[in-house]
Chain A
Amino acid sequence: MKIALSVKNVSKYFGDFKAVDNVSFDVEDGKFFSILGPSGSGKTTLLRMIAGFYEPSSGKIEIRGEDMAGVEPNKRPVNLVFQNLALFPMMNVFENIAFGLKRRGERGKIVKDKVEAMLERVGLPGFGNRKIGQLSGGQKQRVAIARALVLEPSVLLLDEPLGALDAKLREHMKVELKKLQLKVGTTFVYITHDQSEAMVMSDYVAVMHAGRFEQLDTPQNLYNRPASSFVAQFVGNNNKFTVKVIKDERGNFYAATDYGLKLKLEGKFDIEQDNTYEMYIRPESIIINPHDDLDKLNIIEVDVKAILFDGGNSRILVVPKGTDNEIVVMLPQNRKYDYLRPSDALKIGWYPSVSVCFKGIGERAYEEIK
């Protein structure tokens, strides 16, 4: 596979502030690559360096093997879809899409054919004469993408283009965007703070935090095998336990909570100097009322604190008996537990293999993860 975009040890400083800190990655031709991170993680800065609006303080950016140092944005073979789309309000749809072609000196029928073909591709045939103000959010979206794609860039950069849409439309556009990318085969570099967007659309996702890549992997691996405490919190939902890891005489490792739970773990742990760990268990990995025969499970007794009904995404909030440390548990969708009421007693359990642990006290990605 050819490498469309290669970022090598790129850093960017604003004064003393390190916005992007020694980031490296390659994107293969035709892939959908996402950079996922909270606001302020440096992802927009990184994207703007690729687009050419910022020069890296150090490091190198190559597009199709060509060094981009000192190349102006208007000369780079990349195009950017802006966060607020930045469609030109004084031009109609056709003029917006034709803008880049005309700047290249293309004229007349060639421009017309290309624009019309592109409108067809993004599902807006015959929209050429519409004013920008007459378009819906999703249509504007597609015009913005068409305007960039018509230039046949080596890499299409997208800066949270779905951010301004309402939730329903965003769900829809996610799928649309993925389909479009498959159809046109252009390399997409997409930045977002929405983990669901990144997971649904991408071939690879880089989780960015405080200017660095925490993990670069497939969405599946990010979800199943997070590399850091931050990734575990940021990608998907997770229950966090601060625990002390201890080892029994037979060499098995256990996680002990400060309220007296002793939970089996899998694998080896370094407990020489400091045995403080953070343990994560996904709400969807927890089994409600597990069968007593399943002896390898960690089973704890809990009280139901609240029912968080959310259709297919319903969860319950439980606390281990006698404590107030909340655990979120996913409800199965077969309505088996519709009878549950607050303060009911339950047993929950999980296989030791589904929990992941990280040494030390990590940063909190959010104030509260529920």
Chain B
Amino acid sequence: MKRSSKLKVRWGFIIFFTPVFLWLMLLIVLPHIELLRMSFIGTDFYGKSGFTLENYGGFFKEPIYWRTFARTAIYSILVTFIVLVIALPVAFYITKLAKPKAQGFFTVLLLIPFWVSELIRIYGWIILLRESGVINFVLLKLHLIKQPYEMLYHDATMIMGLVYTSMLFMVVPIMGVMESLDNALIEAAYDLGAKKLAIWRKIIIPYCTPGIMSGSIIVFMLVLGSYLTPKLMGGKNALWFTEQIYNQIIIYFNWNQGAAFGFLLLLMSSIIIFIALKLTKQEFTKVIK
């Protein structure tokens, strides 16, 4: 009797664990091992392939690569920061100031843009912003400008697009922690003589740090790995590192170089997130909860 019940437990575990294990192994671990292997392989002049560091060396030799890389990193941090600055008051308004009925409404408003695909959303922006677009048309009609102005294909436009696409992923985790923030804490700080800014700096932000960090990690990774928004809204002037990977693999058919780039990107995002967690004294396991 005892034995069979033990067996049952085992079976249950196996049934539930197998899909997870397969998913992780086949779709994530194995491809990455293969990519890692590929990134160290090069083909020499005679068509013979062997171990080389050339793929990584190429990255540092060619300024366009590491400049795009640095640009992507800096802009991702910037976008994350802008998203955070906008998301904090938004989350505060929804969780603390809005009436319960309005809360649901605002949350739906945040969600609605995600009911259409990223591609459609960006085309929406393009319709608004392009030289013959809606905004230019209105401004011309109002005689506010004399000539249509091309608003697409600037860094600023691209950043705006990235902020827009990733806003929800910051607001939701912050709302999660902010809901548990006792209003009495804010009142207590106010009663003890704190001004509004001090309440934000000393009470709300420190309290919400776990939410802020998990939101920031999601947004940062999303932005870093985004491809469509920088390509369509930033155009040729706004290179993004994911485009370099795409170009290497799809256009130049240089899988080895693309794999190396991919690993560099992974390495960078890991390091930046690690530093950010250390700076805010947060633990990864707590933040991702």
- Max chain B C-beta neighbours (<10 A), residue from A72, A91, A99: A99
Distance between A112 CB and nearest chain B CB, rounded to angstroms: 18
The residue in B188, B189, B191, B203 that gathers the most chain A C-beta atoms within 10 A of its C-beta is: B191
Question: Is B198 a contact partner of A103 (Cβ separation < 8 A)?
Answer: yes
**A100 is contacted by which of B193, B195, B206 (Cβ under 8 Å)?**
B193
Please tell me if the beta carbons of A89 and B207 are within 8 angstroms of each other in the complex: yes
Q: Could you tell me if B188 and A151 are in contact, using CB atoms closer than 8 angstroms?
A: no
Taking the nearest CB of chain A, how far is it from the CB of B187, in angstroms? 6
Contact B188 A86 (CB under 8 A): yes
In this assembly, does A51 line the interface, its C-beta being within 8 Å of a C-beta of chain B?
A: yes
Q: Which residues of B contact A86 (CB under 8 A)?
A: 182, 184-185, 187-188
- The verdict on A356 contacting chain B, using a C-beta distance below 8 Å, is no
Nearest A residue to B199 by beta-carbon distance?
A74
Asked whether, in the complex, the Cβ of A100 is within 8 Å of the Cβ of B192, the reply is yes
A259 contacts the other chain (Cβ, under 8 Å)?
no
Give the complex CA separation of A100 and B194 in angstroms.
7
Chain B residues, Cβ within 8 Å of A147: 192
Contacts of B193 in A (CB 8 A): 74-75, 100, 103-104, 151
Does chain A have a CB within 8 A of B11? no
Instruction: Identify the closest chain A residue to B192 (Cβ).
Output: A100
- Measured between alpha carbons, how far is A87 from B182 in the docked complex, in Å? 10
**Contact assessment for A74 and B188 in the assembled complex, using a CB-CB cutoff below 8 Å:** no
A90 touches B207 (CB 8 A): yes
Docked complex Cα distance between A148 and B190 (Å): 12
Flag if B202 contacts A99 (CB, 8 Å): yes
Interface residue range, chain A:
20 to 34
| Chain A nearest Cβ from B59, distance in angstroms | 42
Interface string of B153-197 (1 = CB under 8 A from A): 000000000000000000000000000001011011111111100
The residue on A at minimum CB distance from B208 is A90
Main secondary structure of the interface of B (DSSP, over half): helix
A235 interfacial by beta-carbon distance below 8 Å: no
Q: Give chain B residues whose Cβ lies under 8 Å from the Cβ of A100.
A: 192-193
CB-defined contacts of A90 to chain B, threshold 8 Å: 206-207, 209
Report the nearest B residue to A148, measured CB to CB: B192
Q: Are B184 and A82 in contact (CB under 8 A)?
A: yes
Q: How far is the CA of A83 from the CA of B187 in the complex (A)?
A: 12
B192 near A151: Cβ-Cβ < 8 Å: yes
Q: How far is the CA of A154 from the CA of B125 in the complex (A)?
A: 59
Binary contact track A89-109/B, C-beta < 8 Å → 1, others 0: 111000000011001100000
Could you say which residues of chain A place their CB within 8 Å of the CB of B209?
90
State whether A82 and B192 are in contact (beta carbons under 8 Å apart), knowing that A89-B207, A99-B202 are contacts in the complex: no
Q: Are B190 and A73 in contact (CB under 8 A)?
A: yes
Residues of A within 8 A of B202 (CB): 88, 99
Residue pair A79, B187 in contact (C-beta under 8 Å): no
Beta-carbon nearest neighbor of B183 in chain A? A86
Report whether A80 and B191 are in contact in the complex, using a CB–CB cutoff of 8 Å: yes
* C-alpha spacing A148/B187, complex, angstroms: 13
Q: Are A74 and B190 in contact (CB under 8 A)?
A: yes
Most B Cβ at <10 Å: residue of A86, A87, A147, A148: A86
* B194 in contact with A103 (CB, 8 Å): yes
Contacts of B188 in A (CB 8 A): 80, 82, 86-88
Task: Please report the C-alpha to C-alpha distance between residue A80 and residue B194 in the assembled complex, in whole angstroms.
Answer: 14
Answer yes or no: A53 CB below 8 A from chain B CBs. yes
Known: A53-B187, A90-B207, A99-B202. A84 touches B192 (CB 8 A): no
Q: When chains A and B are docked, how far (Å) is the Cα of A62 from the Cα of B203? A: 30
Q: How far is the CB of B191 from chain A (nearest CB, A)?
A: 5
**Could you say which residues of chain A place their CB within 8 Å of the CB of B189?**
88, 99
Tell me the complex Cα distance, A51–B203, Å. 20
Asked whether B191 lies within 8 Å of A73 as measured between CB atoms, the reply is yes
Q: How far is the CB of B280 from chain A (nearest CB, A)?
A: 12
Provide 14 A-B residue pairs closer than 8 Å at the C-beta atoms, listed in order of the A residue: A72-B190, A79-B191, A80-B188, A82-B187, A84-B184, A86-B185, A86-B188, A88-B188, A90-B206, A90-B209, A91-B206, A99-B194, A99-B202, A104-B193
Q: Which 7 A-B pairs have the closest CB atoms?
A: A100-B192, A86-B184, A86-B188, A103-B193, A90-B206, A74-B193, A82-B184
Contacts A90-B209, A99-B202, A100-B192 supplied; 9 other A-B pairs, CB < 8 Å: A52-B191, A73-B190, A75-B193, A79-B192, A80-B191, A82-B184, A82-B188, A84-B182, A88-B188
